[in-house]
Amino acid sequence: MPKPSARTGRVTIVDVAQHAEVSTTAVSKVVRNAYGASPEMQAKVRKAIAELGYRPHAAARGLRGQTYSIGVMLPNIRNPFFADIIDGATEVLEDAGYQVLMGPGCNGEAEEARVTETMIDHSMDGVILIAPVSSRQHLEHVARSVPTVIVGRHGRSSSYDSVADDDLSGAALVVNHLADLGHRRIAHIEHLETDPDHIVEMPNAVRADGYRQAMRARRLDEHIDVASTTYTQEGGYLGAQQLLARLHQPTAIFAGADIVAMGALEAIAEAGLTVPGDIAVAGYDNTMFAGFAPVSLTTVDQRGRQMGSTAARLVLDRIAQPRRPASHMKLAPTLIARRTTAVLPH
């Protein structure tokens, strides 16, 4: 007959200890698989835990030791690419016995700061920050309080680990694909970046750079043509409008993200042009909707799942060895060719 502590109704370590007729220390050790508990002890305690339905209270744990939970921050719930990262990370973390909690989508440094602080306040054992826009300074501040992994950003720091897509190669994949199809006037829609840190570190900036490099490598220097807007549907719409108004209209548009490509397709349709007959379009991210039949968008796959699982392993690693040197992973993307860049049967 379970007799949980009166106040909250929650079964505590004390209840388990009494039920199993051992000390609370013993219970704590068994729960944590710590050294110093004989097999009989383990059996007794586990039996009591099962009978009472005991669960460790994460908040209480956080006051002394670990909470066995990891916080994941993501910039935008709407981008399904991030969901892949989450899936990959969650799988590894839960298998390792960690709980996962996510911050609500946030855009802007202020919101990111709030979310990271929330995670620290909840005594998370580690945090995974996906595509953060905060300053390096803030990221390093976070990394000083808690093991931190940054996903999808190129800056390297000795205080945190990172996992990023090789956006430079990814952009080249697109340019080469389009050039191989015979396109020469290949334009790009980029997310305008002014912050000097971001120009070096953010994926969008690296993609734009990769576009330029690849164009030059294909001797298409003179056809380099970039519209600077934002990585949003509207940004794609406006960017494509700009490009279509050029004296020499491009025959292909490389949008820096799938969502940008969706806006571009809208502008192209409004202009009465067909895809890929009049103009080819490619995106980046291989988001879910890129594969939908009416969309069928050529894009670049970043292996989000793998990015997530890698990030999870890195954060667990660093929890185990807080002072090991930082490691920075770069994952190779692949091209997914679909109808928006197909050679049309004429």
Partner DNA sequence: GTGAAAGCGCTAACAT
Partner DNA sequence: ATGTTAGCGCTTTCAC
Q: Which residues bind its own copies (CB under 8 A)?
A: 9-10, 55-60, 62-63, 67, 69, 71-72, 77-78, 80, 82-83, 86-87, 90, 94, 99-105, 114, 117-118, 121-123, 145, 233, 262, 265-266, 269-270, 288-289, 292-295
Closest to 262 (Cα-Cα) out of 85, 80, 133: 80
Q: Which does 65 bind (CB under 5 to 8 A by kind): DNA, its own copies, none?
A: DNA
Segment near DNA (CB under 7 A); pick from 38-46, 74-82, 134-142, 276-284: 38-46
> Could you tell me where the beta strands, DSSP code E, fall in the chain?
69-73, 99-102, 126-130, 148-151, 161-165, 186-191, 225-229, 252-255, 280-282, 299-301, 328-331, 334-336
Q: What is the DSSP letter of 123?
A: T
C-beta atoms surrounding 19 within 10 Å: 21
Residue 7 binding DNA, by CB under 7 A: yes
From CA 252, how far away is CA 239, in angstroms rounded? Answer: 13
Q: Which does 141 bind (CB under 5 to 8 A by kind): its own copies, DNA, none?
A: none
Question: Which residue's CB is nearer to its own copies, number 200 or number 273?
Answer: 273
The answer to whether residues 246 and 224 touch, using CB atoms and an 8 Å cutoff, is no
In the complex, what is the shortest distance from the CB of residue 200 to its own copies, in angstroms, rounded to a whole number? 29
Which pairing describes strands 334-336 and 299-301: parallel, antiparallel, or unpaired?
antiparallel
In the complex, what is the shortest distance from the CB of residue 5 to DNA, in angstroms, rounded to a whole number? 5
- Give the gyration radius of the chain's Cα atoms: 25
Residue 18 binding DNA, by CB under 7 A: no
List binders of DNA among 87-116 (CB under 7 A). none
In the complex, what is the shortest distance from the CB of residue 98 to DNA, in angstroms, rounded to a whole number? 13
Q: Specify the amino acid at residue 133.
A: V
Question: Which residue's CB is nearer to its own copies, number 116 or number 169?
Answer: 116
Residue 51 binding DNA, by CB under 7 A: no
User: How many binding residues for DNA (CB under 7 A)?
Assistant: 33
The answer to whether residues 126 and 318 touch, using CB atoms and an 8 Å cutoff, is yes
Q: Which does 262 bind (CB under 5 to 8 A by kind): DNA, its own copies, none?
A: its own copies
Binding DNA by CB under 7 A: which of 43, 49, 52, 61? Answer: 61
C-beta atoms surrounding 326 within 10 Å: 16
**Can you read off the two tokens belonging to residue 118?**
């929330």
> Could you tell me where the beta strands, DSSP code E, fall in 155-265?
161-165, 186-191, 225-229, 252-255
Binding DNA by CB under 7 A: which of 18, 32, 140, 329? Answer: 32
Q: Which does 252 bind (CB under 5 to 8 A by kind): its own copies, DNA, none?
A: none
Residue 56 binding DNA, by CB under 7 A: yes
In the complex, what is the shortest distance from the CB of residue 74 to its own copies, in angstroms, rounded to a whole number? 9
Binding DNA by CB under 7 A: which of 25, 107, 145, 334? Answer: 25
From CA 170, how far away is CA 130, in angstroms rounded? Answer: 19
Which pairing describes strands 69-73 and 126-130: parallel, antiparallel, or unpaired?
parallel
**Tokens 């490691």, residue?**
327
Q: Which does 199 bind (CB under 5 to 8 A by kind): DNA, its own copies, none?
A: none
Contacts to DNA by CB under 7 A: 5, 7-8, 10, 12-14, 22-26, 28-29, 31-32, 34-38, 40-41, 54-57, 60-61, 63-66
